[in-house]
Amino acid sequence: MQIHTTAYLDKREVSDALVIAYYKGQLVRPDLGHLETICQAPIHAGDFTGGLGELACVWGAEVEEKRIFLLGLGPEESCSPEKLRIAYGAVAKACFKYKCKSLNILLPELEYAPKAVVEGLLSAGYIFDLYKSEKEEPLEDITLIGKDALKAADRALRVMTSVNRARDLINGNADTVTPQFLAQYAKELSQEFPRITTEIKDKAWIQHENMGLLLAVAQGAKYDPQCIICSYKGRPVSDEHTVLVGKGITYDTGGLKLKSIEGMLSMRSDMSGAAVCLAVIEACAALSMPVNVTCVLPTCENAIGKDAYKLGDVYKSRAGITVEITNTDAEGRLILADALSYAVDAYNPTQLIDVGTLTGSMEIALGNSYMGLFSNSDFLAEALTSSGLHTHERLWRMPLCEEYREQLKSDVADCKNAATPKAGSIICALFLEQFVQNVPWAHIDMAPVAFAKDARGYLPKNGTAVGVRLLVDYLEKQQREQHDN
């Protein structure tokens, strides 16, 4: 994707379409000249009113482009970055219909417009057709017409490139996107971005580190587990160090507590947390952000078979806590527990954030528009929530109920890995909290939003990589606050 900018409408190059935005009943920009007359026909006919995401196509002999898209942004008073993402997401979908490869976009004169427009276009314009014989033709060239748009547009392009690469990982075949594939992908990131360093820890290292929970989950799998560590030091003089831990279950059968067929259909996406973390560190490097971030990604399959780990058995974690397995389909918390323990001891982080598709009960509680947030730090929780609102990748803080810890008690071990179905997401978070010591920590359960059954707004069907923009925004705000102080 190429993005260009020009300050003036009459300086644009010819493209497949020109996009002109309208508020409901009102032209967004008054500087159209003779184009305003050409655009009147569908408005006078009542075919176009300017409602959010509404689109009309106009052809005219006096227009250099093949067509003009009239785009509705809804009422002016309710316009927002999210409304622009939705509206320009509709433009991206129209480009597939009309086979447009290039666009000229007359930007609304809003400070946030360049970033939001690019996010909506690139998100809704995402294509995953790797396994299709007939390929879609993607949008290749965008020119934004407006002053001072290049910096914000370029930033959005870099972040959305990382988002869409994460979607590719999530959508890929589970027999392709194995722990070893993710490890190789991480190595390639360090080749592409010199400030990223990657270490791949193999099964022998995992055994040496006594990561008994990760080994237990992986023991029935065809592929050996890997622990992937990517570090980006954008501010070496600072002691601030954020560690992200991403769940990397490359396929989840549920183990001996076997999932249903329907439940397994999307389980190639159970490594979404790891994919999001890789995309965040890639975006940090692409933007040369002055932050220090390390990703610790435990990756393996949760397979079914004669070697699969057993219900009722007890396994010892890296932290020395023994765990009775009461649910083999509660495996994500097990591999995260060993990774969190290692992250605390190895990196002494100033803050620790884990991300993953942890519990179906989170989706029952929140639907498909929010992720669950658990934290031992009010400051961290509030800052992440704020970034979630800003990016519309929203978080809802859930409680860490002390009285529920009783449900994790075991007769034969230090704790269980799961309890009753009630408050399942909270029980999961309480289990993980045992492994973070006193480090400021946040747990993001992205199960409700990681994999979409249908396209919604500017989000595509299947892998969404929701969480990348949120975490990049959070890290950017953090570094600005540190600079101001």
- Tell me the per-residue pLDDT of 408-460, one tens digit each, with 9 for 90 and over: 999 999 999 999 889 999 999 999 999 999 999 999 999 999 999 999 999 99
Residue whose tokens read 């006078």: 44
Helix, strand and coil in the chain, % to nearest 5: 40, 20, 40
CA nearest 166: which of 463, 470, 452?
463
Segments making up each domain of the chain, as ranges: 2-148, 172-484
**Residue 469 known to be catalytic:** no
Length of the chain: 485
450 close to 466: Cβ distance less than 8 angstroms: yes
Q: Is the overall model pTM greater than 0.85, yes or no?
A: yes
Confidence of residue 484 (pLDDT cuts 50, 70, 90): low
Out of 259, 310, 316, 477, the active site residue is 259
Is 155 an active-site residue? no
Distance of CA 138 to the CA centre of its chain: 21
User: What angle do the packed helices 150-171 and 468-484 form, to 10 degrees?
Assistant: 140
Same topology, domains 2-148 and 172-484? Answer is: no
Contact yes or no for 77/27 (Cβ under 8 A): no
Q: How far is 48 from 57, CA to CA, in rounded Å?
A: 10
pLDDT of 483 > 70? The answer is no
The hierarchical CATH code for the domain 2-148 is 3.40.220.10
Catalytic residue selected from 247, 333, 394, 416? 333
For the stretch 80-122, pLDDT in tens is 999 999 999 999 999 999 999 999 999 999 999 999 999 999 9
Q: Rounded to whole angstroms, how far apart are CA atoms 204 and 187?
A: 19
Buried/exposed 247-266: b ≥16 CB within 10 Å, e otherwise: bbbbbbbbbbbebeeeebeb
Contacts of 377 by beta carbon, 8 Å cutoff, 6+ apart: 351, 440, 441, 442
Q: Distance between CA atoms of 308 and 450, rounded to whole angstroms?
A: 26
Looking at domain 172-484, its CATH architecture is 3-Layer(aba) Sandwich (3.40)
